[in-house]
Amino acid sequence: MTARSDAVARLTAHEVTGERSLSGSLAEVTLDDGRVVVVKRSGDPGATRAEAAGLRWLAATGTVRVPEVHGHDDDWLVVDRIPEGRPSRDAAVAFGRALAGLHAAGAPAFGAPPPDGPADAYIGLAPMRNEPGTDWPRWYAEHRVLPYLRRAVDQGTVRPGEASVVERLCERLPELAGPAESPARLHGDLWSGNVLWGADGQVWLIDPAAHGGHRETDLAMLRLFGCPHLEQVLDGYEETAPLAVGWTDRVGVHQLFPLLVHTVLFGRSYAEQALAAARAALAR
């Protein structure tokens, strides 16, 4: 047996009858009862623990669909495989309603991790600290924007003279953030690659960076990299939980966090997008 199949057998109490590698860290594994699961290997125990806790926290709401966690340890995570289908308008509307329900389930605080989830988590490949706070503008600046801005400056991806644009936006967040809202239960990394259109006609969410946050952040990330039938998703969302007036003017504010994460991970082109988003928000 390979180390991967041995881990899956141990975590699921089923023998492995087949494996198919999907990437260096991801594989599909067939169990002796015919089920196919996905197994992911992580280089950081905190990342595995955070993803498993996040999936369970989202599932506990009974709103959005997420893969079931079959087991995990410090190195491995085993979840359901989701057979993929094609995007549809009806599925998009239903997803929007479910996402509104997820957000309404709430969180103890902005930055609150899922129960049993670590404070030191991840968003994609980037470390993400879940430090609870009660005031969203201050928390967002201190724990979501400025840490990645500092890393980008240290890397040389954002030039020191450019950083002041983002710092000015952080200073003005109390006036730019819109009406105060209670902490929402966020997926936290809701780009289109983590939105699966299932063969069952439903939308499934994978790879969360779950935490308590502002609901507009999830919606802004859906817009950032495109999502099939996004307008129908938003229609379903607003039918269930109307958004505050002016939310579309705040999209750039909420996109600043993922753009800076991408700046740290992938370089200068995302820095330029982040700076453009900050300038546009300051100009409103």
- What per-residue confidence (pLDDT) applies to 199? 97
- Rounded CA-CA distance 26/168 in Å is 41
189 is catalytic: yes
- By mean pLDDT, which of 19-28, 98-107, 152-161, 256-265 is the weakest? 19-28
pLDDT mean across residues, the chain? 96
pLDDT over threshold 90, residue 160: no
Give the pLDDT confidence of 93-123 residue by residue, as tens digits. Answer: 999 999 999 999 999 999 999 999 999 999 9
Q: Which domains does the chain have, with CATH numbers?
A: 3-80 (3.30.200.20), 89-283 (3.90.1200.10)
Give the pLDDT confidence of 34-85 residue by residue, as tens digits. Answer: 999 999 998 888 899 999 999 999 999 999 999 999 999 999 999 999 999 9
Give the pLDDT confidence of 205-216 residue by residue, as tens digits. Answer: 999 999 999 999
SS3 per residue for the chain? CCHHHHHHHHHHCCCEEEEEECCCCEEEEEECCCCEEEEEECCCHHHHHHHHHHHHHHHCCCCCECCCEEEECCCEEEEECCCECCCCHHHHHHHHHHHHHHHHCCCCCECCCCCCCCCEEEECCEEEECCCECCHHHHHHHHHHHHHHHHHHHHCCCCHHHHHHHHHHHHHHHHHCCCCCCCEEECCCCCHHHEEEECCCCEEECCCCCEEECHHHHHHHHHHCCCCCHHHHHHHHHHHCCCCCCHHHHHHHHHHHHHHHHHHHHCHHHHHHHHHHHHHHHHC
Given CA atoms 154, 156, 158, 159 in this order, what sign does their dihedral have? positive
Average the pLDDT over 212-226 and give the result: 96
- What per-residue confidence (pLDDT) applies to 79? 98
Q: Which residues pair with 255 in a beta bridge?
A: none
- What per-residue confidence (pLDDT) applies to 1? 66
Q: Name the catalytic one among 189, 200, 207, 218.
A: 189
